[in-house]
Amino acid sequence: MRVFLNGFGRIGRSVLRAWALAPGRWPGLEIVGINDIAAPEMCAYLFEFDSVFGPWRGSVSLEPGLLVVDGRPLPLMRVSDLSLLDLRGVDVVMECTGRADSLEVAGRGRAAGAQRILVSGPSAAAEVTVVLGANEAVLRDQRIVSNASCTTNALAPLVRLLDSHWGVVTGSMVTIHCYTGSQPTVDAPAADFSRSRAAALSMVPTTTSAQRLLDQVLPGVAGRIGGSAVRVPTASVSAVDLCVMLERAVTVTAVNAAFRTAAQALNAVIGATDQALVSSDLRSRPESVVMACPETRLTRGGMLRVFGWYDNEWGFSNRMLDVAALMA
């Protein structure tokens, strides 16, 4: 499978790092090119030196029209309209610009000759939204596919596990989310008043698309799970704090046993830990969510509370590669 990266920001660079670090995990999947509007020198610099994941341990250099990573030459283009390129022979364009909400933008890779598009976020242009561990069975021959959001990738497999074992009646989720590039470093005007405030100085209550996307991905529980978000002053790793009422009786021991069993699967999307970890300990974990078993609680009234960590960049980028491989 030949994959082309359109957009070399946080997700595009993380996808390339994950693929280059573990080429055997996605046999037959090859990244064959990159497009970004930034200068090639900036693309190479930001790939080599990363404030979250650290410096690249191999070699990074530029040649005319090429980004060379560990001796592997990757064509590096710089166009604002992907449809201007010749992408015949490309199986999947990973659309990582964050701007592919419209069919006109999302379809540019197809116009350039690529077979299919995988969007790194919610997209109204997508024919289907796929979350590994939740609804990957719906993936067929759709041409434009959304990989949902990082929070949905953490939440949906968790809800599916709980619903399949005990039946979810209702619940509420809060994602405790690190700040992102959509927030300013100093107070600045924005459409959302709370998101106009300096990202690294305050906890910011805001919304999340995960509730809406969860209803799409798991229609059997549509309308049962509410969701909100709090952006916090950390640069990486987020968490889901989920409280649910279940149809069948449950114990903390049984829930944690289900988490540990899920974590034993090959290339698991749900991980589990019994250690007292903090967010920085979960950096670069490839799972969609890592359940903190010591945080599982059950009230006398039967409400279950579970808590899971997720590296919203690294885990999501691993899912991009997983879903692209499934699209083959």
**Token digits of residue 36:** 């970004």
Element (H, E) at 258: helix 252-263
- Gap between the Cα atoms of 246 and 230, Å rounded: 25
Which residue is catalytic, options 43, 96, 150, 293? Answer: 150
Stated as kind and residue range, the H or E segment containing 12 is helix 10-21
Q: Active-site residue 150, yes or no?
A: yes
Contact present, 105 and 115 (Cβ < 8 Å): no
Q: To 10 degrees, the CA torsion angle through 20, 23, 27, 30? A: 20
Cα dihedral sign, 101-103-107-111: negative
CB 129 within 8 A of CB 153: no
Which residues form the catalytic set?
A: 150
